[in-house]
Each structure stands twice: as structure tokens, then as C-alpha cells.
Structure 1
């Protein structure tokens, strides 16, 4: 072997140069590649004698062969198998840097298509057990990216089924690291809408009952809607985020040529959009109102009962118990389950001094729905009122209690009695504004659902004519057709729909009608110019279209426009009812605000048991008055950039505009006689002032 060939074998720069040459002309450099491959085999045999020793030369040769393996697939057949055997046998004893290099080489071979995912995944999940955080992150990112790339163009169901079955078996293992990482892969695939099926959700549901508390918490966070189920993995947006500084903005608009400015401005715009997206993600985190994962559970009743049994027996920390309570409450609310002993379990935590009591109260609200018997919730409501809503409680606790009572009554109004409601309504005149507003909100709720339970003075206008009452427990009215179809079949006239009749007037008063009439005349003129044959075709088309519409109507087929029309007519009908209730006239100023209240009533009439309850909304955020130092800081901040106070003469001197009329009069040119007369008048005035001064002194 010549000295030149030896330098190519041992020098990393030579390996990089040879790699580029091989990619350009693989056949021309086949002999050089064979020399390097023989040197790799010799180095591998020496390395296997001491696997724990770090060998940079061996790592460089492995990376070189992995990068050019697609150029010589026949020669590199045994290469990938040797690397996999090496990692499987000596994974725990290898040096950390060398181990990551070997894994990266296998990833390159997989990206070249020389290795299938089914062959590589079992080894990678075994490597998750190594105590190397960087290695676990590297493997996790590759698995997620590989699966996403495999399903980018079209869904590969065959590959997905095989990998899913493999991951399902790994999640149930006792090894915590492998099970945790496989669970993270499943949740990431679900959040990226690649594996959004029911099987994935139910495998995660089984992971809730794993022996490891960390896996249990990760699975519970998945059902809570959290993306950060693994602390080792950071989101791509946060890792690749670049903060935008003032210097970057200045350089983008004031430095460089025209073309470089455009590039900088485009990059700046991308960074700003990414920052806005990340801020919105953090603001909306955990506030999604759709529980699609919970809705895909195969046996929600069994899941809820098993998790509640685990909650009763667990000795985990308080945060884990809160997660369990939240998940149980969401499952109960979404599927309207009956786990009656769960409410008595929550009752023992209903204390104002309880740690994170608003989280417990939000779980209680979420678990309340109209199928829960009122006698089950009555003790809970009684304890809530006794401990939170009384004259000895702090205003913060009273506000939390009143808000919780209102949210529970929205979901199950039967738990409220007239006597209790009238007692709570008296807090509308409490000295603390937050308490009074919470009590008024409760009164406003029962003005809508059952005004008869309130005192006559609290019912508001139009309540005497209202016959709205709370339905009895278990009352159910089956739907016999589309809700609101009668409004579509018998639509109100224009006068009824908009609240006023339009009187006939001339075309000058109604230019829109005049323009529509002109258009009709133009259409008639066009039809007059058409031939008889064209008229027959047009008549046949219109009659056929009308027949199809009549057939669809008779068959009960409604279009999307029909449903939108039904919604609009419902809002109009509710608007009339609200106006009639409050005694508003059709031409009053409040006419425009009634539509908003009608939409609010429509929203409240929907099922609210599947909505998420934010614990922060139950808290009382009191606005305290500013201190003297805070007021002084605001005053000084308002003076920044403002001119200083001074005399009017100084402001006139600094004036840059023209002269005033008095100044012009003083500088006006006058004849000599007029100037002499003016001087005599000034002299006479001064003399009179002197005489007056002498008389005063005497």
C-alpha cells in the first residue's frame, strides 16, 4: 500500500474528499472505497477486543461508509447488520460519543432506504434504556420524523399497523424508559394527526394504569390536552425560535443593499410570525374545548371507575391526584356517566383553606351534568354554601363559591331550591363588588331558566309573562324532526322578521327598489329578444330545478343553506322574545343589542357538560387602588417627551409662524402727522398717571 493510500486511510479530510468524489463518480472510485472498507473491517476487529475504549478513527470510518453505502449496496450488505449487532451486544459498555455516532450511521442507512423501520425500531427502543439523555433525544426525534415522512404523501397503513402493534407491546412493559418513550411516540403521532384513531387513544388509556407513576402522569396529561408529556423533548418551535431584537429590525431596514434588505425583512417577518404563533400556542395551551381523545374511549364507564378506584388507593403526591380528578371529571362530563361515590369523595376537599381548591371545584363542575340525581349533589352544594358563602368568609372565598354554584346550576338546575336561591340573591348588595357581581350573575341565570324561583323584585321585566321552568329529572322530549323546521316551512314575512313594515314610497325615497326595477326591466327586455326555442329551453330548466327542489323537500333533504336559514330565523325569534320580555319597542335604541343576547341564550341552551372549566376563571382578582409611589411613577411617565412649562413671552419668541394682528398693527407704517399725534397722546397719558399718583400720596 502506497503512502498516498495510507494517508487516505487515516486522514479524516481525505475521507471527506473521497466521500464527495464517490458521490460524483461511484464506479471510478470503487477501488478506493474497497481499500477503506478493508481498513474498516480491520479496525472493527481491533475495536471489538476493547469495546469500552473510545476510537475516533473507527467512528470516522463508520460514518464514511454509512454516507456512501447507497452507492455500493452489494458491498455494504453486511455493514448494517454488523452495526446493529455491535450496538445490541455492547450498548451499555460503549463510549457515549461513539454510541451516538453508530446510531447516527444507522439512521443515515435508514434514510437511504437500505434498512426498514421494522428492522431498526426494536434496536432503537432497546437503546432507550441507556442512561444517555442526548441519545434518547436523538432516537426519539428520528422515530417521529421517520413516521411522519413515511405518511407525508399517502397514509401507509401496513407500516402503521406493524409499528403500532410493536409500540403497544412496548407500552405495557415493566421497563420505565422504554414504555415512557413509546408512549411519547404515540402521543406525538396523535397530536400531529398521523395516528388519530381510537386504538391509539385506548392504548394510552391503558398506560394510565401502569405501575410507574411517571407513565401514569404522562398518560393523564395526554387526556388533559397537554403536549409536554416528556420533559426530555422540546417542541420544534421553541428550539428553533429566534428572538427579534431592535438591532435586527434596524439592520433589516437601514443596512445593506436593496436585495439584502429584502432578505433580512423576509427573515424578520418569518421570525415575527413564528413568535406570534408560539405566543398564541402558550395562551391557548390547555384551553381547548374539544375532548376528541376522551370521546374515542371504547369503555368510558369502565375507564372512569378504574381510575377512581386507583385514586382512592393511591399515595402519590397532590399534583398527581389533581390530574386524576380532572381526567375523571372530564370523562364523566363528556360521556354523562354516573359514578355517584365520586361526588362524596370530592366533598372532603371542599374547604377554603384546601391547597389549589379552585382545581378541585373545576373538577366538581366538570363532573356535574343533568343526569346526576339532585339528591346526590345536594350535600355537596350544602357544604359548598356553608364553608364558602357566609358572612364570616373572606370575599375571595365567597366569589369562588358563588361562581361554582352558578356553574353547577347551569349543568343541573334541580340542585337549587327557592329558599337557598333567595338567600344567595341577597348578596347582590354586598359591600365587595366581586361578591355582588357574582350574586347578580346567579340571579341572571335563573331569570332565564326559572324566574319563579326568585323574589318578585329580582325577576326583572317581562318575567310575569314567562312560564319557563326547570324540567323534572329524567324528562326527555324525543325529537320528531329537524329542530326549527317549522320556521323554514312557514317563514315570517319581512315585516315580522325585521320588526317593522316598510311603507310604499316613490323610487326617489328607495333607490335600491328603483335599481331592482330597472334590472327587472332589463331582464324582460333580454327575454323579449330571445328566440322561442331559447325560451322553451330556459322554461324547461327552471321547471326541472323547481321539481328537484320539491322532491328534496318532500324527501326531507335539507341543504347547508337551509340550516343556516333556520339558525338565522331562530335568532330573530329569540330577539323578538327578548324585546317582548323587556318591553322594548321596535324603534328603540336597544334593538341592536337584543341580537347579542339572543345569541347568548342560544349558546347557553346547548349542552355545557362537555365544555372545559378553567380554574382561573373561578378566582376573584380584586383591583386594589394604587399607592402614592405607583401614582407618582405614572405621573412621571406621562411627562416624558413633553415640553417644559414657561412664560408666554418665551413661547412667543420661539414661535415660528407669522405675526399676530396686534404685532402687525404696531409695525404698520403711518404718516408723520399721525406719528406725532400718537406721541402726544402717549405723553398726555403719562402726565395724567403722574398727577393721579401725586394725589394718592397726599
Structure 2
């Protein structure tokens, strides 16, 4: 009887897997035999399923789900289970039904959550599945799983092991497509076509996942950039475009995770306002302080993440010069094969890399000249890219033909004012970065356009004139230089030639404030030895100075310092002249005394006082904004608005005006306002004017309005009649 009862219980539990699952979780040791029975059953079904995947698919899914839930209870018996599921997905993916695919993927993820499967093994299984999945829902599910797995692993501290394994796998996925160029030449087209298509899909998804991890701030290192930079030279134009757009950051993708994080941050103003209305309790105050602390922390993390995202990926390139040369080689070699849009995207990336890293790819300027015509499609984007590629180390001899080409094609009476303005603005942007690319004759002709009647042309020509007044005023005619430029020329302040660096004295900040403070207080600095009291001095320097003492240097009556050399004759003397006043400019009091630590502390205090006084006037903000603009000007991307310049609004056509009128009439009643009308959606009372119409005549006769009409003069009646006639004419018209 006991054996029959056990067999009956086993048969009942084997038919009801959810009940057996619940019992095993409570007491795994007591129900080990029942589990082993289901495990053997799973092994037999797996062999049948490998031969015929369509047979018993529902039962196979139920058994796999059961084994997945019981795997943590029996780790030794189910040690090979995760590998079997992974191999089945990778090897038999195309033969499996959509339901089985989803079931196996879900069970793998559950095994990872139960720490039965390692994160690296999970990602190595899911990544190759992305290009092969046709179901949108399953692909989105796998994509979110991969991103969340890597993000959680790097949340507290950077998981170098996981990142290294995933980045190596992504690099190989992209590298396969780059190698297919040589493989296609060696193999036949039929044998290589399937591998080529698969490699293209793998590389595309590798770029997409790398871009998502970069945008979410999970990966921000040079290895991530190297993966995408390799995709810029892929054999597929689609993969190239995805990799190039990663650097240009021109794709508008929905970042759902960031939006959810922003929505989670509560509104502190609303909470504080609610706190003033509701009942005052200690617990409420405590919750408000806790919420404020949490909001401050989240905003700090969000701002830190935005700063990391704003860091350009182009700055992390390993070898920018080689990268730019390969880009240009790919562009020039496939000039006829690529579409215009793809060539423009490559030029944008190439020019931005040249501008940020101050690179010189001289062949690009001769290549781009064939696009410099005002009839060219997307010419404004090409012009903006051209200006972005120029920097102070670009040779003027290479840029001079480009500037002349722009002037010939865009700036002449045979084109419209918008074309002339675009040409002038492009030349201004090029000359702003390398002014020596301009010659005097061409500059004189271009500056004459400041007398044009078009606002955009006038603004562009004046900006070009102002640029050369500040950089190289000698190229301008005397009447066009202006007062400041003429004074600089008279003072021999010549511009620095190409390739030279301007050497000058370094000004000590706050020295002028210290000098003014000493003059106001009437102090001459006092005894310098007293200023060193209380400050730490290097022991070696103090010992040497105490032993040797100060060395008196004789000087003649004219103020020239005379030094004698013991090895030379007594009559030989070396004269060292004092610096001229203009050479010592910027030092002031520093040329007369040695600044002590007390002086530097006083200068710092005076600077802080001055900044505090000027904070109300906005001087500090303007100075900081100016310095920031000058420092980041080379990294700022030039857009089409900089090329087109300010333009007046074009007059709308009749069709455009009618469309605007119709759009304004949408949702509005036919005869204007609905005030006081009964046809409104929400009922309301009548107006005072309607009420006055329905009043009894005896009540109206005694009103002030009726009596004033009776007593009105002839002049008032004429004015009222005239106003009535004017209103009638307006209604008829």
C-alpha cells in the first residue's frame, strides 16, 4: 500500500508541474526523486526536439520552465542546463518557432537573475541573436536586457572583466565586415554573399549597442571609441553611416531611460507649497528634508552624466591623423560609388576631426573644390564642413585657391543676395581660422559689398572687414582700417606670421590691484624680512641665503648694470641693459621689489573683493563667457545658420497666407465669440446686454440711459448717429 501511494503521488506531481515546483521550493531534499524524474524526462524530450523541433513544443516549453525554476535547488544536477539552452538558441535558432525562442530567451534571463548563469555567458548568447531576430518585441526585449545587464554591472563600480569581454566581442563583430573586402576577392560571390550580409548585420548591431551604452554614460573610454572608429571603414555603407553619425551626434533617438529618470525627480516647489497648506507635523518636515536631499543628489548625478555626455568622442581617438587619412582615402576611392548624402556625412566627420585635432589632410581641399558651386545640392552643409576643417596650422597656400574659388562662384552680380551672403560668410569663417589665406586685392573687392542694399550681404561684408581690422589690418586700405587698427600699426603691433608664435610677458593677476592698494594706503612695502614671518620657507634656500647673504651688485650713474669677469681683463666689462618700460609692462611693482607670500595673500584677497563687487554688474559673467567662447571656438561645430547669416523674412505667397488663415480658424465658431451664447459646450448665464433687451418697458423708461438720450444735445445726437453709420459701413465691407 505504501509503494502504491508513493507511485500515485509521483504520477500526480509529474502531471502537475506548478504544484511540484511549489513543493520542491519548500523542501528540496524530500522531492529530489521527483525532480530527477522530470530531469530525465527533459533529457529525452530534448533529444526528440533536436530531431523534430515542431513536435511537442508546448510540453518542451513547460519542462524547460520547470527546470529553470528548480536549477538553484539542485546545482550539481543542472550544471549543464544553461549551456544546453544557449547552444540550442545559437545553433537551432532559425528552426525554432517564435514561442520557443521567446521561452528559451526568458529562461536564460531568469537563470541569470538566479545567479545560475554568468553575465558574460548570457551576453555572449544574446548578442549574436540580435541580427537574426525578426520579431520586434523579442528584439526590443533582448536589447533592453543587454543594456540593463551592463548598466547594473557598472553602477556601483566599473566591472572591467565584463566590459573587456563585451568590448572584445563587439570589436570582432565589426572587424569581420572590414575583413570581407579581401575575402570577397579571394572567394566566390555566391559563397561570400551570405557571410557578408550576416557580418553587415552583426557590425550594425554592434555599433548600435555601443552607441546606446555611450549615450547612457555606461562606457566613456577610448576602447568604446575604437570600436566605432573601426566601423567607419566597414564595407557596408549602412554600417559606415551609423558609425559616422555616432561621432557627429546627429541622430535623434529616444532615450527612454533618461526620460524616466527625469520624471522620477519630484518637484520641490510643489512639495514646499503643499507643506505650507497642509497640517504642520514633525514627520512631514522630516519627509520634506529627506526628499530635498534625494533631489539634490539626483540632480548632481544627472548634471555629472550630462557633462560626461558632452565630452566629444572625437577627442578620444587613438591616432587622429591616421583616422582622418583613412577617411579621406575611403572618400576619394569610392567617390563614384557613394551617394551625395553619404559623401557629405564623411566630409562632415573628416572636417570636424581636422578642426578639433588640428590635422592637415591637404588632399581634401583640392577634392572639395568640385563641390563649390551655388547650384550644388546641400551646399550650405558642404561650406560649413569646409570652414570647420581650417585651423591656424593649415597652410595658406592650400587654402588660397579655395578662397578664390568661393569668391568666383558665389560673389558676383549674377547670383542672388543669399548666395553672396553665404559666400562672404564662408570666407569669413575660413579667414577667422587662417587669415593668411586672403590676399589684399580680393579682400578689397569683398569689403566693397558692405555698401549693398541687402541686409545679409551688408552684415557679412562688415563682419569680414571687422575681422581683418583685428587680425591683419595692413591688408586693408588706409581709409578702411579704422582708428584702433591704425594706432596698432603705428605702434608696430604687427600680426604674427604663419607658423610663428607670439612671445610676450606673462602678467601676474592681481598685481595692479596690489599696486593701487599700496598707493592708497601710502605703504611702500615696509621691511621685506617682516613679510616672511609666519610663512614656511624651504630649508635649503634659507640656509644658503643665511650663509652667503645678499650680493651687492654695483651700478654706474646711468643706471646700467656692470658685471666683471675674473677670467677676462680688468678693462673688459659686460653691460646688461635694464628692460624698457614697455618690456616690463605687466609687472609694475614686481620690477621694484620681491613679492612675498604676504603680498600674494593680499592680492588674492583683493581679487576676491573686486569680484564680489563686480558680480552685481555682470562683469565677471561677461569675462567668463568671453574666455569660454575663445577657448572652445576651435571645437564648436559650424552649422548652416553661420553660413547663411541673418536673412529677412520672405514675403508669403497667396496660398501660404490662406493656409495660415485657415489654420487660425480651426476650432473656432463661424461668427466669432461664443460669449453669452447657448450653443456653448458648457452652459453659462446670459450677458447684461441680453438681460437689458428683455426688461419691461416701464422699468427701462425710468433708467438713466433713456433719460440721458432725451436730454442729449443736438451735437451728441449727431455724433451718435455718425458712429452708428460708420459701424454699419464696416459690417457691410
Shift of 1:346: 0.9
Shift of 1:460: 4.7
Maintained 8 Å contact 1:311/1:324: yes
Maintained 8 Å contact 1:449/1:469: no
Maintained 8 Å contact 2:510/2:606: no
Tell me what 1:70 maps to: 72
Measured in 1, the distance between the counterparts of 2:632 and 2:90 equals 55
Tell me what 1:471 maps to: 496
Shift of 1:303: 1.4
- CA pair 198-401 structure 1, distance change in 2 beyond 3 A: same
- CA pair 106-194 structure 1, distance change in 2 beyond 3 A: same
Maintained 8 Å contact 1:83/1:102: yes
Maintained 8 Å contact 1:289/1:611: no
Shift of 1:33: 4.5
Maintained 8 Å contact 2:247/2:314: yes
What aligned pairs does 1:128-139 form with structure 2 within 5 A after superposition?
A: 128-134=130-136, 135-139=138-142
Tell me what 2:650 maps to: 624
Corresponding residue to 1:308 among 328, 338, 363: 328
Maintained 8 Å contact 1:389/1:398: yes
TM-score for both structures, normalised by structure 1: 0.66
Tell me what 2:92 maps to: 90
Tell me what 1:194 maps to: 218
CA deviations on 1:319-364 (whole Å, 9 max, x unpaired) are 2211211111111111111111111111110111111111111110
Root mean square deviation of aligned Cα: 5.1
Maintained 8 Å contact 1:289/1:612: no
Match of 1:348, SS state, is helix
Shift of 1:92: 1.9
What aligned pairs does 1:245-644 form with structure 2 within 5 A after superposition?
A: 292-314=312-334, 315-455=337-477, 458-460=480-482, 462-467=484-489, 469-477=494-502, 484=507, 486-491=508-513, 544=534, 602=627, 605-606=630-631, 608-619=633-644, 621-625=647-651, 629=658
Shift of 1:495: 9.3
Match of 2:509, SS state, is helix
Maintained 8 Å contact 1:358/1:619: yes
In the alignment, structure 1 residue 101 sits paired with structure 2 residue 123: no
- CA pair 45-289 structure 1, distance change in 2 beyond 3 A: closer
Corresponding residue to 2:115 among 104, 113, 116: 113
Maintained 8 Å contact 2:173/2:202: yes
Shift of 1:445: 2.5
Measured in 2, the distance between the counterparts of 1:437 and 1:352 equals 20
Could you tell me which runs of 5 or more consecutive residues in structure 2 were left unpaired when the two chains were aligned: 1-5, 178-198, 264-273, 289-294, 522-529, 543-593, 677-687, 694-701, 706-710, 714-733
Measured in 2, the distance between the counterparts of 1:568 and 1:53 equals 85
Tell me what 2:232 maps to: 208
TM-score for both structures, normalised by structure 2: 0.63
Measured in 2, the distance between the counterparts of 1:594 and 1:18 equals 77
Corresponding residue to 1:163 among 150, 161, 166: 166
Shift of 1:32: 5.6
Measured in 2, the distance between the counterparts of 1:567 and 1:91 equals 72
Maintained 8 Å contact 1:381/1:405: yes
Measured in 1, the distance between the counterparts of 2:672 and 2:434 equals 56
Tell me what 1:219 maps to: 243
Question: Which region of structure 1 is more displaced relative to structure 2, 599-608 or 413-422?
Answer: 599-608
Match of 2:220, SS state, is coil
CA deviations on 1:576-598 (whole Å, 9 max, x unpaired) are xxxxxxxxxxxxxxx97998886
Measured in 1, the distance between the counterparts of 2:37 and 2:606 equals 75
Maintained 8 Å contact 2:380/2:640: yes
Shift of 1:218: 1.9
Shift of 1:394: 1.2
Q: Answer 1 or 2: higher relative contact order, Cα 8 Å, separation at least 6.
A: 1
- CA pair 634-111 structure 1, distance change in 2 beyond 3 A: closer
Match of 1:487, SS state, is coil
- CA pair 605-57 structure 1, distance change in 2 beyond 3 A: same
- CA pair 547-295 structure 1, distance change in 2 beyond 3 A: same
Question: Which region of structure 1 is more displaced relative to structure 2, 300-309 or 420-429?
Answer: 420-429
Measured in 1, the distance between the counterparts of 2:378 and 2:343 equals 12
CA deviations on 1:177-210 (whole Å, 9 max, x unpaired) are 2232233333333333333222332232222222
CA deviations on 1:288-315 (whole Å, 9 max, x unpaired) are 9966322222221111111111100111
Tell me what 1:122 maps to: 124
- CA pair 226-631 structure 1, distance change in 2 beyond 3 A: closer
- CA pair 462-166 structure 1, distance change in 2 beyond 3 A: closer
Measured in 2, the distance between the counterparts of 1:289 and 1:476 equals 34
Maintained 8 Å contact 2:391/2:434: yes
Match of 1:159, SS state, is helix
Tell me what 2:527 maps to: none
Tell me what 1:269 maps to: none
Corresponding residue to 1:182 among 199, 203, 206: 206
Measured in 2, the distance between the counterparts of 1:564 and 1:417 equals 47
Maintained 8 Å contact 2:215/2:309: no
Measured in 1, the distance between the counterparts of 2:637 and 2:35 equals 62
Match of 1:404, SS state, is helix
Shift of 1:161: 2.5
- CA pair 635-8 structure 1, distance change in 2 beyond 3 A: closer
What aligned pairs does 1:16-35 form with structure 2 within 5 A after superposition?
A: 19=21, 23=25, 26=28, 33-34=35-36
Maintained 8 Å contact 2:217/2:309: no
Shift of 1:155: 1.5
Shift of 1:369: 0.7
Tell me what 2:196 maps to: none
Aligned pair count reads 551
Measured in 2, the distance between the counterparts of 1:347 and 1:199 equals 35
Match of 1:110, SS state, is helix
Measured in 2, the distance between the counterparts of 1:593 and 1:630 equals 45
